[in-house]
Amino acid sequence: MLPVIVFIPVIAALLSLVVMLLWNATLPSLFNVGVINFWQAAGLLVLCKILFGGFGPFGRNGRGGGGPAMRNKFMNMTVEERQQMKEQWQRRCQQRKQNKD
């Protein structure tokens, strides 16, 4: 447990340093923007994580994609079970589409 407690902040600090160095080396000369400090780079990383990465180990909605487990489950179904599952997913997709409209 102790290595994880030390490892995560060290990685975050290194990533912030890399972002700061890359920003300060390229963007001021290319786009005439100001330089940033370490804490601004760390904030930029957090902002990118919120906007693009989400939180947790799963996808954007916090759900896993299924992957091999879902494929194995589908392959072990009977033909009737597969058809029933496909119909159920079609109903769900139609409901989502109607809710968006």
Mean pLDDT of the chain: 85
> Is pLDDT larger for residue 22 or for residue 58?
22
Which of 40, 46, 50, 34 is closest to 17 using CA atoms? Answer: 40
pLDDT of 20-37, one tens digit each? 999 999 999 999 999 999
- Please say if the pLDDT value at position 55 is more than 70: no
Q: Interior CA angle at 39 toward 36 and 44, to 5°?
A: 75
What is the mean predicted confidence (pLDDT) over 2-11? 87
Alpha-carbon span 78 to 84, nearest angstrom: 10
> Is pLDDT larger for residue 64 or for residue 34?
34
> Is pLDDT larger for residue 9 or for residue 71?
9
Burial (Cβ within 10 Å: 0-12, 13-18, ≥19) of residue 99: exposed
What percentage of the chain's residues is helix, strand, coil (to nearest 5)?
75, 0, 25
Alpha-carbon span 50 to 44, nearest angstrom: 10
> Is pLDDT larger for residue 89 or for residue 60?
89
